Amino acid sequence: MEKIGKQFSILLLLLLLATPILSFLGFQLFGNSPERRSRPEGRESRMVRILPHWGTGQIAQELKEKGIIVSPWAFQAVVFLRGTGTRLQIGDYAFPPGMSLLDVLKKLESGDIFHVTVTIPEGWTVREIARYLEARGLASEERFWQLAHDQELLRRYGIRGSSLEGYLFPDTYYLRRGMKEEEIIDRMFKRFLQIYAQECQGKAASLGWTRHQVVTLGSLIEAETPAEEERELVSSVFHRRLKIGMPLQCDPTVMYALWGREGKRARLTRRHLTFPSPYNTYVHRGLPPGPICNPGAASLRAAVSPRPSPYLYFVSKGNGSHHFSSNLYQHYRAVRRYQSSPDRT
């Protein structure tokens, strides 16, 4: 009887000791934590980066320092009880105000990481994309550039050109920090494949054009006009010139040969028009060797859908639109009206 009494006393003591601990853990898990009360509603989320090879202790300390949790000890204890220490995922996380410890844990266990929204404008070159992604902290500019010219990657994608220029589709992407440059490129290329299949594949086959030819012409159209309603007319001019063997005389091809591959832009003058480059469509007939930028869906679509027209020339009006002409006399009149010298397409 005395032995039973001692066992009961020990059990009671253990329960008394465990109660505050269990209450504390329960409060942290399910109740309003002190952190919740101390951060007023409406405050912005706090960002935390969980790095590879961090243990539970390092994660707990980082969360404590950023004001996400109150007790690193409680965090580690709950992780141990849940058996999820190896399932906490790396990445950038946004923690809104008022999260309980259990909410925090579930976010880390599920890998509900913060995605950075990036919008790649139509007409950007590979270099401009690489530079922008580095500025946003999402990629190394040089690594991205090197991969865009990697011959093994080009073979894998079935690209005939010397780079991925033209094949990185301009769109809005949701990227996570820590993604490899290969992953970003792969996502952009797969988006290109999707759009090309929807907009171009059937018509390209009926024209007898290769994918590379379509993308190259699409890039010229993209670089020539920002006006969507003009793109099929610009396409018409280029198609007619190609058919009769007339040089395309596309200014952006010369600009790309001079500066474009480095993502630079400058004013073109008459002396530049004889610059020796296979991309110079004043010097060489036909399409250039490859795209000069990354065209959007409208320009790709226009490349295989030229609007029937008699036009062989167009000149910029200086307001983003163009005047189209069917013969050289009309073109020279338009040039005198809108520009100072008749040395443009």
* Ordered domains of the chain (ranges, CATH): 35-113 (3.30.1490.480), 126-309 (no CATH)
pTM of the model: 0.76
The count of residues in the chain is 345
Token pair listed for 48: 């935390």
Q: What is the pLDDT along the chain (345 residues), one digit of tens a residue?
A: 555 545 445 544 444 444 444 444 454 444 434 444 333 344 678 888 888 889 999 999 999 999 999 989 989 998 888 888 778 888 888 899 888 888 999 989 988 888 889 999 999 999 999 999 999 999 999 999 999 999 999 999 999 889 999 999 999 999 988 889 999 999 999 999 999 999 999 999 999 999 999 999 999 999 999 999 999 999 999 999 999 999 999 999 999 999 866 656 667 778 888 888 999 999 999 999 999 999 999 999 999 999 999 999 999 888 888 999 999 989 989 889 988 654 445
Residue 285: Cβ within 10 Å count = 12
- Listed residue (100, 30, 27) closest to 63, CA to CA: 100
Q: Tell me the per-residue pLDDT of 40-87, one tens digit each, with 9 for 90 and over.
A: 344 678 888 888 889 999 999 999 999 999 989 989 998 888 888 778
- Listed residue (222, 232, 226) closest to 252, CA to CA: 222
Token pair listed for 149: 């010219």
At 43 the three-state DSSP class reads coil
Beta-bridge partners for 50? 91
Buried b (16+ CB within 10 A) or exposed e, 292-328: bbbbbbbbbbbbbbbbeeebbbbbbeeeeebbbbeee
pLDDT at 40: 38
Instruction: Tell how far CA 92 is from the center of its chain.
Output: 18
Token pair listed for 37: 């009360």
Cα end-to-end distance, the chain, whole Å: 108
At 40 the three-state DSSP class reads coil
